[in-house]
Amino acid sequence: MTEEDRPSSPADLAPTTGKKPTAADDDRFECRACGHIYNPNKGDPTTKVIAGTPFSVLPETWKCPVCTAKKTAFSNIGTISNSEVSGFKENQGYGFGVNTMTQSQKSLLIYGGLGLGILLFLSLYTLN
Ligand SMILES: [Zn+2]
């Protein structure tokens, strides 16, 4: 990614809607100059980029809303799912629910099993 300065023509100002994005549409990009992260799911209110706009279709003239660095100063830091914790949290809650369930089931099994064992033991006695 060592692109030289391109002469900005008025055509570059128009959003490149017809272009096919090369990176994944939900890839986030981090500004190497200031650390600002462009999130395609949120867009960028400062530069009036609507939510759901992939970084790859942003106009070449788009600049970092924090430090006005060029688009080429941004580097791909991967998809959102890699760092979002919502899915992980869900799993944790699910695991916890299962754990409490198995705990009560365990105690039930222990006492129920003990009772059954005694009954079996007694029935064996009565048989003899
Ligand atoms: Zn920046």
Residues lying with their CB under 5 A of ligand 1, a single-atom ion: 31, 33-34, 36, 64, 66-67, 69
pLDDT of residue 49: 96
Q: What residue segments make up the domains of the chain, in order of their start?
A: 10-82, 85-128
Q: How far is the CA of 19 from the centre of ligand 1 (A)?
A: 25
pTM: 0.47
Sequential pLDDT tens for the chain (128 residues): 555 555 554 545 445 555 444 568 889 999 999 999 999 999 999 999 999 999 999 999 999 999 999 999 999 999 865 444 444 444 545 555 555 567 777 788 888 888 888 888 888 888 76
- Side-chain half-sphere of 12: how many Cα atoms within 13 Å? 9
CA distances from 114 to 18, 106, 124, 125, 127 (A): 71, 12, 15, 17, 20
Render pLDDT for 42-79 as a digit per residue (tens, 0 to 9).
Answer: 999 999 999 999 999 999 999 999 999 999 999 999 98
The number of residues making up the chain comes to: 128
Q: How far is the CA of 68 from the centre of ligand 1 (A)?
A: 6
Instruction: List, in sequence order, the alpha helices (H) in the chain.
Output: 10-13, 86-127
Tokens 């939510």 -> residue: 51
Rg over CA atoms, the chain: 30
Domain 10-82 bears CATH identifier 3.40.640.10:
no
